[in-house]
C-alpha cells in the first residue's frame, strides 16, 4: 500500500517468523525503465526480530509501477517471496525543478536531500531528488529552510529555519520517512539556526543563538547536541573566547560531523574562519581568520571570506564554499603537533552562478563534487577535472531567478547511515 501522507512511499507489512535467518531485505525495481534511467532499483534491510514486519519503499518516482519482493538469507541459503507490484500516486507541483544532464556517464547516481532555501518565502518544502532529477519525496518545512537532513538511521528527516539573526525565533521540525509523526517545533531548539548534523547514536547537533553582538546578524552561539531522548548538552560556546579576533561580531553558519575521529568543524562568517573541535569541546585547530590571537593550538592563515558549507574529507583535506567569490575550494591540510598549513589543490566556479547566502559542497563516492550555489538556485555535479556532469535548477523556467536551494547533502541510498 502507499503511505497515507506521501504517494511515492510504499509501505510493506507482513507477519511471519524470521527466526533463524541471518538477514532480510526489501528489494524493488522500476518496471519498464527507459534507457538511461539511473535509479532503476533500490531497497533496504528488514529486521529479522519478531513476527510483525514493516518496510518502506523509498525513492519511488511518481505515477510509476514497481515490482517488489522480500529476500531472506540464512547463511548461504536464500528465500525469495513472490513478486508483487505497486503503482505510485502523483508527484508534487509545488517544487519547481529542472535538470540538465550534461554527461550521465560521469554522474554519481544516488539522491540529493535539500530544501527550498533562504530565498523562497512562498515554497516551504524539504525534498529528495533522485539521479534522474525527479522529486521522489517531499515534506512541509519551516519557512526559509536552510537544512533538511536524515538522521543516522535514515528513519527521520530533520529540518530547520535558517533564522539568520539572534533576535529571530527559529523552528526545528521532524517527520518520519513515511510522512507520519510530523513535529513542528522541537522543544529546547527554538533558537537553533542555519545548520544541523546527524550523530551516530541517533541524535543531532545544531547551532543555537545565545546573545546578540554588534550588528543585526551578529551573535554568539552554542554548539548543542540533542540526544534521542531529548536531552540537550552544550559542546562549546562559540563566542569571543573561541574567536578572539572577532569578539564583537560573530555569525556561525555551518556545522559538520566527522565520523573518522568523532569531531566537529564549525564555520563562522564574520570571523572568516573554520574551527575543528572534539565532542568534548576541545579546540584542535583554526583555518582562516586572525591566527595572531587564535584560541586554537594550531592555526593556518587563509583568506576564506564568505565561508559557509564545508566538508572535512577522510584524507584530511577540507572542502569549503565561499559565497563572496561563489567558489568551491579544496585545501590539503598539513598538520604537525604544533602547526597547520593549508595548500589549495582544487577549485570550481561557474559563469553566472553565485550565492550570497548559504552555499555548500560535498565530495561524492565517485570522486565528483556537489557544488550548491544556493541563492542562484543551481546545484552542479563536477568531476575532479572541472567537467560538469549535471545541473539541477530550482526553477521551472530559465528566466525565473528568485528560487533557491538550502544546504544540500548526497546519499547513495535513502536507507541506513549516510555512507
Query: Is the pLDDT reported for residue 45 higher than 90?
Result: no
Q: How far is CA 124 from CA 58, 181, 256, in A?
A: 21, 18, 24
Q: How far is CA 232 from CA 186, 203, 260, 310, in A?
A: 11, 10, 23, 25
Q: pLDDT tens for residues 165-220?
A: 887 778 899 999 999 988 888 999 999 999 999 999 999 999 999 988 877 788 89
Q: pLDDT tens for residues 105-149?
A: 888 889 999 998 876 556 688 999 999 999 999 999 988 899 999
Residue ranges per structural domain of the chain? 10-87, 98-411
DSSP label of 142: -
Q: What is the pLDDT of residue 400?
A: 46
Q: What is the DSSP string of 13-53?
A: EEE---TT-SEEEEEEEETTPPTT-S--EEEEEE--SSSEE
Q: What is the pLDDT of residue 401?
A: 47
Q: pLDDT tens for residues 259-274?
A: 999 999 999 999 999 9
The whole-angstrom separation of Cα 383 and Cα 107 is 9
The CATH code that applies to domain 98-411 is 2.130.10.10
Q: What is the pLDDT of residue 270?
A: 92
Q: Which residue has the higher pLDDT, 244 or 26?
A: 26
| Confidence label for 406 from pLDDT (cuts 50, 70 and 90) | very high
Q: How far is CA 234 from CA 105, 245, 322, in A?
A: 45, 23, 27
Residue 242 φ/ψ, nearest 5 degrees: -85, -40
> 10-87 and 98-411: same fold?
no
Residue 188 φ/ψ, nearest 5 degrees: 90, -10
In terms of C-beta density within 10 A (0-12 exposed, 13-18 middle, 19 or more buried), how is residue 110 classed? Answer: buried
Hey, how many other C-beta atoms are within 10 angstroms of the C-beta on 370? 24
The whole-angstrom separation of Cα 219 and Cα 207 is 11
Sign of CA dihedral 76, 79, 83, 87: negative
Instruction: Give residues with Cβ within 8 angstroms of 306, minimum separation 6.
Output: 269, 272, 322, 323, 324, 325, 359
Helices (H) and strands (E) in the chain, counts: 0, 33
| Confidence label for 78 from pLDDT (cuts 50, 70 and 90) | confident
Closest by alpha carbon to 324, among 367, 375, 285? 375
The mean of the pLDDT values for the chain is 89
Task: Give the range among 38-42, 49-53, 306-310, 344-348 with minimum mean pLDDT.
Answer: 49-53
Query: Is the pLDDT reported for residue 97 higher than 60?
Result: yes
- Residue count (the chain): 419
The whole-angstrom separation of Cα 419 and Cα 412 is 7
The whole-angstrom separation of Cα 292 and Cα 91 is 54
Instruction: Give residues with Cβ within 8 angstroms of 290, minimum separation 6.
Output: 245, 246
CB of 206 closer than 8 Å to CB of 170: no
Which of 37-41, 103-107, 256-260 reaches the highest mean pLDDT?
256-260
C-alpha neighbours within 13 Å on the C-beta side of residue 289: 31
Place domain 10-87 in its CATH homologous superfamily.
Immunoglobulins (2.60.40.10)
Exposure string of 252-283, with b = 16+ CB inside 10 Å and e = fewer, is bbbbbbeeeeebbbbbbbbbbbbbbbebeeeb
DSSP label of 336: -
Taking the C-alpha atoms of 239, 312, 309 and 294 in order, what is their torsion angle to the nearest 10 degrees? 30
The whole-angstrom separation of Cα 249 and Cα 239 is 9
Q: pLDDT tens for residues 329-366?
A: 999 999 998 899 999 999 999 887 777 788 899 999 99
The whole-angstrom separation of Cα 359 and Cα 373 is 5
The SS3 of residue 129 is strand
Closest by alpha carbon to 144, among 321, 370, 374? 374
pTM exceeding 0.75? yes
Q: What is the DSSP string of 301-327?
A: ----TTEEEEEE-TTS-EEEEETTTTE
Q: pLDDT tens for residues 295-309?
A: 999 999 998 888 999
Amino acid at each position: 500500500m502507499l503511505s497515507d501522507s506521501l504517494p511515492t512511499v510504499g509501505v510493506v507489512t507482513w507477519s511471519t517468523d524470521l527466526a533463524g535467518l541471518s538477514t532480510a531485505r526489501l528489494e524493488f525495481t522500476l518496471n519498464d525503465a527507459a534507457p538511461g534511467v539511473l535509479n532503476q532499483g533500490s531497497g533496504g534491510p528488514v529486521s529479522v526480530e519478531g513476527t510483525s514486519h514493516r518496510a518502506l519503499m523509498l525513492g519511488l518516482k511518481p505515477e510509476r509501477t514497481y515490482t517488489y519482493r522480500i529476500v531472506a538469507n540464512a547463511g548461504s541459503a536464500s528465500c525469495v517471496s513472490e513478486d508483487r507490484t505497486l503503482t505510485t500516486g502523483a508527484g508534487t507541483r509545488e517544487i519547481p525543478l529542472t535538470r540538465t544532464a550534461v554527461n550521465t556517464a560521469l554522474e554519481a547516481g544516488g539522491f540529493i536531500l535539500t530544501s527550498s532555501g533562504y530565498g523562497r518565502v512562498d515554497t516551504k518544502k524539504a525534498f529528495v531528488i533522485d539521479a534522474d532529477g525527479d522529486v521522489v519525496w517531499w515534506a512541509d518545512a519551516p519557512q526559509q529552510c536552510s537544512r533538511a537532513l536524515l538522521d543516522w538511521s535514515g528513519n527521520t528527516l530533520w529540518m530547520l529555519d535558517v533564522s539568520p539573526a539572534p533576535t529571530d525565533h527559529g523552528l526545528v521540525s521532524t517527520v518520519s520517512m513515511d510522512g507520519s509523526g510530523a513535529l513542528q517545533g522541537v522543544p529546547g531548539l527554538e533558537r537553533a539556526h542555519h545548520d544541523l548534523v546527524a550523530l551516530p547514536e541517533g541524535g543531532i547537533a545544531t547551532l543555537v543563538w545565545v546573545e546578540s553582538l554588534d550588528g543585526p546578524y551578529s551573535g554568539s552561539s552554542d554548539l548543542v547536541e540533542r540526544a534521542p531522548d531529548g536531552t540537550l548538552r552544550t559542546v562549546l560556546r562559540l563566542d569571543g573566547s573561541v574567536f578572539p579576533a572577532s569578539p564583537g561580531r560573530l555569525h556561525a553558519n555551518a556545522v559538520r560531523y566527522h565520523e573518522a575521529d568523532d569531531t566537529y568543524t564549525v564555520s563562522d562568517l564574520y570571523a572568516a574562519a573554520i574551527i575543528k573541535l572534539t565532542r568534548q569541546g576541545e579546540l584542535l585547530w583554526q583555518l582562516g581568520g586572525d591566527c595572531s590571537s587564535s584560541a586554537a593550538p594550531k592555526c593556518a592563515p587563509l583568506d576564506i571570506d564568505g565561508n559557509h558549507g564545508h566538508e572535512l574529507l577522510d584524507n584530511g583535506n577540507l572542502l569549503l564554499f565561499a559565497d563572496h567569490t561563489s567558489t568551491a575550494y579544496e585545501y590539503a591540510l598539513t598538520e604537525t603537533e604544533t602547526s597547520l598549513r593549508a595548500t589549495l589543490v582544487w577549485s570550481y566556479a561557474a559563469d553566472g552562478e553565485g550565492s550570497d547566502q548559504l552555499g555548500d559542497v560535498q565530495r561524492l563516492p565517485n570522486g565528483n563534487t556537489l557544488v550548491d550555489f544556493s541563492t542562484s538556485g543551481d546545484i552542479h555535479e563536477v568531476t575532479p577535472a572541472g567537467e560538469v556532469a549535471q545541473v539541477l535548477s530550482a526553477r521551472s523556467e530559465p528566466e525565473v531567478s528568485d528560487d533557491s536551494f538550502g544546504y544540500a547533502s548526497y546519499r547513495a541510498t535513502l536507507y541506513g547511515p549516510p555512507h
